[in-house]
Amino acid sequence: MSIHHHTFDTAQAERIAGALYVLDELPPAERSAVAAFVLDTTGAGFPEIPGFGDLRAAAELWADGANHLELECYTVAGLRRLGRVPLALGQRKRLFGQLWRTFSHDDRRAFLAKTRRS
């Protein structure tokens, strides 16, 4: 069984499946409470912003401890906000460049082909 790029042995997969079954049987409010608890105890939390420190180093440290859901949520929210900030085009280009470098050659080619058709 594979969940978000992690591979589990049979016993682990069975425990996870059992936990997910129990979670699915909970009322929505209790399910949300469990999810919040898990994120609070396993995630990196809110990124701290140092007063006079190195913001990029602090961000790197936070990102190293963040789970994939936190990374996505903060990144998407940041991109939305940057889209409304005057003179943020250079920042958005740097972010796009970093995202672009994470794609495989095939993904890049498929993306370009799709954008050319649009």
The per-residue pLDDT for range 68-97, each reduced to its tens digit, is 888 899 889 988 888 888 778 888 888 889
pLDDT of residue 23: 86
Rg (CA), the chain: 19
C-alpha to C-alpha distance for 33 and 25, rounded to whole angstroms: 14
pLDDT of residue 111: 94
What is this structure's pTM? 0.48
- The residue assigned the tokens 């997910």 is 20
**Quick check: is 7 in a domain?**
yes
Could you list the residue range(s) of the whole structural domain that residue 25 is in? Answer: 1-42
**Quick check: is 18 in a domain?**
yes
**Quick check: is 28 in a domain?**
yes
**Quick check: is 107 in a domain?**
no
**Quick check: is 38 in a domain?**
yes
Number of domains making up the chain:
1
Give the confidence band of 2 by pLDDT, cuts at 50, 70, 90: very low
What tens digit of pLDDT does each residue of 24-73 get?
898 888 887 787 777 767 766 666 666 667 778 888 888 888 888 888 99
